[in-house]
Structure 1
Amino acid sequence: MTSSATVFNTLPRSVAAAVWRADQLGTVAHATLSSGFDVLDAALPGGGWPCRGLTELLCSQAGVLEWRLLGPALRAQQAGPQGPLVLVAPPWVPHVPGLRSLGIDERRLVWIDARSSAERVWVVEQLLRAHPVGSVLAWLPDVRAVQLRKLQVLAGQAGVEHGPVFVFRDGPAALDASPVPLRVRVRPGPGLMLQVELLKRPGAPLDRVLTLMAEPPGLAGWLPSPRSASSVILPETADVVGRSAVIRSRTVQRPVAH
């Protein structure tokens, strides 16, 4: 019986270069945007967040962890000529000082306050049909798998490269099936660290937790230098963040970034 390796070695070089093996990290034919974390880029197909298709982020507390994880990438993108950053139904009112601390120019920010689940999905559909050149961040906690499949198809059919499209859902959604090829769960880790799990990605599964040092920009220079973080396996930690970081009064504008 001829082994798969023997067959692979007999393929023309151009064909062999296009073959993906299931035990290897998948590759992408389109552009990616660096996450700003070397250890995370090394685990993401193409070395960063995909700029075509969806990325599903599962967060234990909406409106906090996603900004700490995506801040470096969004800051780098805003430094270039790309289009606006579009927010669809963020859980809190955009907080300009917090966004500025992330390096995000509020003049290039579009906030769409869709209320119902159907409205939110419809808005994202229209954005994808328009081939956005910037990034889209959409909070869709109640989105269904069939809706995600449609959004994934629309994002993958974009005629031009655009910025990443992120869909945010609650942590328990990790138990649900999803057609999105890249699913990431982020939870608070010790100190200012984030624990990131790649629940699904093109290629071999990742069997470890990535630990990222994600110091909020507003605290830079005020805290002692932390020890460097690397990709390690850590035990489960409490699924909470500091309550003092969240303002819940109805009379106070709620921040989206810290």
Structure 2
Amino acid sequence: MNAIVHTLPPTASGFDRWQLPAHVAQAVWRGTELGGTNGRALSTGYEALDAALPGGGWPTQGLSEVLLAQAALCEWRLLGPALPGFLADRNSRIYLVAPPKAPHAMGLAQLGLAPEQLVWIDVQGPADSLWVTEQLIKSEASGAVLAWLPQARPEQVRRLQVLALHCDAPVFLFRPESALRDASPAPLRVSVALGESWGLEVRIRKRRGASTDAVLHLEAVPGNLHSVLPPRLRALPAPGMQPQEETHALGRPATATAARLRIAH
């Protein structure tokens, strides 16, 4: 069999895509560029973080893996500004799978999440947590799925990622920072820690496109406090609160208005 091989004119970077026909050049993506997403992207509420994420926000149709040094510390500070954007209509829900502490419904309401739009699913172990998360993704839940799966293995995360490709809601997996030792099929991995004052320090560990070692310093004053805090308190730790005791939205007894489901199978 004879084959004819056509080569492109070399340039300093290998080839110049702009010498290609326009419709072909638009479809060429270089690994050094920030990639796109399979589905929509929803704003994180932080301009600096949006600018660093493919598509300009939290992706749908794929997993976002959030790595934490300590659970129940930064989750709501990071996701709080985006919550209203997850709730497209009155039927949308935020599904919480096995949070390490009880959600505080009134604290979440101040972030824009009405109590009737919160579904807390309490499960008994890692296997049940994984099963419930799978079922929610398969059901193509409207809203967002937030699952705490500290013991998930790479092959289990891979299965969730395959399922999430067909889900239009953002899916977040919260895992310990030690999971960085293992490869992950999740297209987006970020680690988050408390910074100075009210801030958060976010590192993008994996994304579609060029890697980055930059630390994003995000001002994460809860929205309901931003307008009432005097300037001097915005530069100080939360009064009377040590970082390990943060309870703004996760970590207080749930109220009767928070929907709680106990799943067994």
TM-score (normalised: structure 2): 0.82
Q: 2:5 corresponds to which residue? A: none
What is the CA–CA distance in structure 1 between the aligned matches of 2:40 and 2:91, rounded to whole Å?
A: 13
Cα distance in 2, alignment partners of residues 226 and 156 from structure 1 = 45
Partner of 1:48: 57
Would you say the 8 A contact 1:92–1:254 is kept in 2? no
What's the secondary structure of 2:140's corresponding residue? Answer: coil
Letter in 1 for 2:165: G
Query: Take 1:80 and 1:127, find their aligned partners in 2: how far apart are those partners?
Result: 18
Q: Which structure has the larger Rg over C-alpha atoms?
A: 2
- Is the contact made by 2:34 and 2:210 (CA closer than 8 Å) also made in structure 1? yes
Name the structure 1 match of 2:132: 123
Flag structure 1 segments of 5+ consecutive residues without an equivalent.
230-240
Counterpart contact for 1:213–1:228, Cα < 8 Å:
no
What secondary structure does 1:42 align onto? helix
User: Which digits, 9 at most, give the CA deviation of each residue in 1:16-41, with x for residues without a partner?
Assistant: 21211011111124211000000000
Match of 2:106 in 1: 97
Relative to 1, partners in 2 of residues 1:44 and 1:81: Cα closer, same or farther, differing over 3 Å?
A: farther
1:166 is the counterpart of 2:175: no
Quote the residue 1:107 is aligned against.
Answer: 116
- Equivalent position of 1:21 in the other structure: 30
Task: Give identity over the alignment, percent.
Answer: 46
**2:221 is the alignment partner of 1:215:** yes
| Distance of 2:186 and 2:244 partners within structure 1 | 31
Q: Distance in 1 between matches of 2:226 and 2:110?
A: 10
Check 1:61–1:138 CA distance in 2 against 1; reply closer, same or farther (3 A cut): same
Q: Within 5 Å, which residues of 2 pair with 1:1-258?
A: 2-3=10-11, 6=15, 8-78=17-87, 80-81=89-90, 83-158=92-167, 162-225=168-231, 242-245=243-246, 253=253
Alpha-carbon distance in 2 for matches of 1:79, 1:29: 19
What is the RMSD computed on CA atoms of the aligned residues? Answer: 2.8
3-state SS, counterpart of residue 173 of structure 2: strand
- Residue of structure 2 in register with 1:232 after alignment: none
Query: Please, what TM-score do these two structures have when normalized by structure 1?
Result: 0.84
Residues 135-144 or 105-114, more deviating: 105-114
Q: Is the 8 A contact 1:114 1:120 kept in 2?
A: yes
Structure 2: gaps spanning 5 or more residues? 1-8, 236-241, 256-265
Q: CA deviation at 1:11?
A: 2.6
User: Partners of 1:228 and 1:28 in 2: how far apart?
Assistant: 35
The residue matched to 2:156 in structure 1 has which SS? helix
SS of the residue corresponding to residue 183 of structure 1 reads strand
Give CA deviations for 1:53-100 in whole Å, capped at 9, x if unaligned.
000001122123010000011123336456111111111112111111
Aligned pair in 2 of structure 1 residues 80, 37: CA closer, same or farther (>3 Å)? farther
